[in-house]
Structure 1
Amino acid sequence: MLHTANGHYVEVEENVTLYVEDVGEGKPVVFVHGMPVNHRIYEYQQSVLPQHGIRFIGIDLRGYGRSDHPLNGYTYDRMADDIKAVIDQLNLNDVTLAGFSMGGGVVTRYMGRHRGHKVSKLMLFGAATLSKLPEEAVNGLIVGLQADRPQTLTNMFKGFFHTAPSQGIENWLWHMGMEANVHATIETVKAIGSEDLRSDLEAIRVPTLMLHGVHDQVCPFPAAEQAHEIVSTSKLVRFENSGHAPFYEEREKFNREVIEFVLA
């Protein structure tokens, strides 16, 4: 494992290394991003949570951000294994594990596949748990990524918000999306369309906080309500003025909910 000023490069399997941002001291919260962004999607949490005694640990999944872009390994199983490798190599305990969108699906798989190893609390943000992409949507997205990835990402990010953000925010997201490896992006789209997480949800036993925008068009709110019914230890918080990005659109409320849950 290599260290930088605020991060680590963690080898999760032979010749595959992930970048992990690590800021602050206190209760560790491991944040997992969605497709096609990276850990920097949590910028408005990374700049706030360490001031409240929370250690921010943001993973760039394989194929994304500053992590390696191998040919294989873009299933939820393998990405869940990657998270376990990071948690173990950083010697983390009493972890709050958090996932957004596809990352919510990955951390849900982690809870089932690894029986919640080292995790004492779970957070799901606009999570892709029971809101699988239909086959035609998956195929259409793959065609778009192969034919014109820049425009496809532009269209995708416009659907993130309930209220149109600034051009700067759109540009910021677009650049994150373009930093991702195109093969990794396509393979994870396939995973989102094929993974079944119901049994993983049923395996969750730890306190779970679900934060979800009621206007979410990517992972619709009714799917969050269904997941909430399955996870008996969960609390579902509605974000009335948010689409798929409550961490940005209602970030003060979002951060308050996160801080209260982690420190409780």
Structure 2
Amino acid sequence: MSSTMVEVEPGVRVKVLELGAGDPVLLIHGWSLSSAVWDRQIRVLAEAGHRVLAMDLRGHGGSDAPWGRYDIDRLADDGAAVLDAFHVRSATVVGWSLGGMTALRMAHRYPNLVDRLVLVASNGVAGARQPDYQFGVPADAVEGGMHAAEHSGRLDYRRRAVGDPFGTPPDAQTLDWLQRISLQTPSWAANACMTTLLRTSQAFVLDDLDIPVTQIIGTSDPALSVRGAYWVQERIGSTLVELDCGHYPMLEQPDLFDEALFRAVTLVKEPHVRLAEGPSSHSVQT
């Protein structure tokens, strides 16, 4: 695996991991974390014959954290710049949480670059209730408290922020690991990206979307409106895969998540799928 710093605008570089050869897949992580959350998927996708690029969003992981723009257009432009830097003409883009919103915006702004979308623990449209998206909590109800917690008790806030969205509480080792990754994101970048997550509304993007889309969600995800995911699926006819987990399907249900991810990147079309782990096998209900 190689690690490259890509200049996405003058003076701002983002870190990108590259592994494998074949059809390209770009992985984009979520708020305050990094490409480290995709470690297993980077390996298994490369083993399956894909060229995997896993980027750290600006302000996250090993990327630069400038003072300034972290809006959804800027994040999407960074993703496009990464593909351009690696001479990728088009790719499957997989985005988790805030990364899912970034991936959807990329498909809108750069339709020739995005072959298909995989939205993980994300509907891609919004992270809070908006005038054109009537699901979840209003941004005004939570944004101020999150910014205040970042200011007054950053260590405790980040631990709660990365731990609470699990379907069941994670073990201490996993929580420690995620907290360490999260703390690599400085407060100004974290606050700006949280505002982007809560204030962005892009339901209008769905009207122009003409590529295969898969949503992989957890039915016990406290950070995602499952009803909102259903709404998106009805609007665009996306494939909707439900797993019995919370906001971290790649960690909580890794085998089933990998199965769903492989189906998505190889364009297996199944409108509504529920994957459940049995004693010795997987069951699929459509």
Structure-1 residue corresponding to 2:139: 134
Asked whether 1:164 is paired with 2:174, we answer no
Q: Helix, strand or coil: the match of 2:13?
A: strand
Aligned mate of 1:247, from 229, 246, 250: 250
Residues 12 and 86, structure 1, Cα contact 8 Å, conserved in 2? yes
> Take 2:140 and 2:39, find their aligned partners in 1: how far apart are those partners?
32
Q: Calculate the TM-score normalised by the size of structure 2.
A: 0.86
Shift of 1:193: 1.8
> Take 2:209 and 2:32, find their aligned partners in 1: how far apart are those partners?
26
Q: Helix, strand or coil: the match of 1:47?
A: helix
Aligned mate of 1:235, from 232, 239, 242: 239
Shift of 1:134: 2.1
> Take 1:201 and 1:17, find their aligned partners in 2: how far apart are those partners?
30
Q: Deviations over 1:102-129 (max 9, x none)?
A: 1111111112222x23211110001152
> Take 1:125 and 1:89, find their aligned partners in 2: how far apart are those partners?
25
Structure-2 residue corresponding to 1:122: 117
Asked whether 1:199 is paired with 2:195, we answer no
Shift of 1:164: 2.0
Q: Deviations over 1:62-93 (max 9, x none)?
A: 10111111111200011111111111111113
Residues 112 and 199, structure 1, Cα contact 8 Å, conserved in 2? no
Letter in 2 for 1:236: L
Q: Deviations over 1:152-207 (max 9, x none)?
A: 01111222211222211111110010011211000111111211110122222111
Shift of 1:220: 2.0
Structure-2 residue corresponding to 1:59: 55
> Take 2:107 and 2:235, find their aligned partners in 1: how far apart are those partners?
14
Letter in 2 for 1:18: V
> Take 1:213 and 1:202, find their aligned partners in 2: how far apart are those partners?
25
Letter in 2 for 1:11: E
Q: Helix, strand or coil: the match of 1:179?
A: coil
Structure-1 residue corresponding to 2:34: 38
Where does the alignment leave 5 or more consecutive residues of structure 1 unmatched?
none
Aligned-CA RMSD value: 1.4
Give aligned-pair identity as a percent. Answer: 26
Q: Calculate the TM-score normalised by the size of structure 1.
A: 0.93
Structure-1 residue corresponding to 2:181: 176
Asked whether 1:261 is paired with 2:267, we answer no
Aligned mate of 1:50, from 46, 53, 57: 46
Letter in 1 for 2:227: P
Shift of 1:263: 2.9
**Aligned residue pair count:** 257
Q: Which has the higher contact order (CA 8 A, sep 6+)?
A: 1
Residues 8 and 21, structure 1, Cα contact 8 Å, conserved in 2? yes
Where does the alignment leave 5 or more consecutive residues of structure 2 unmatched?
129-137, 268-286
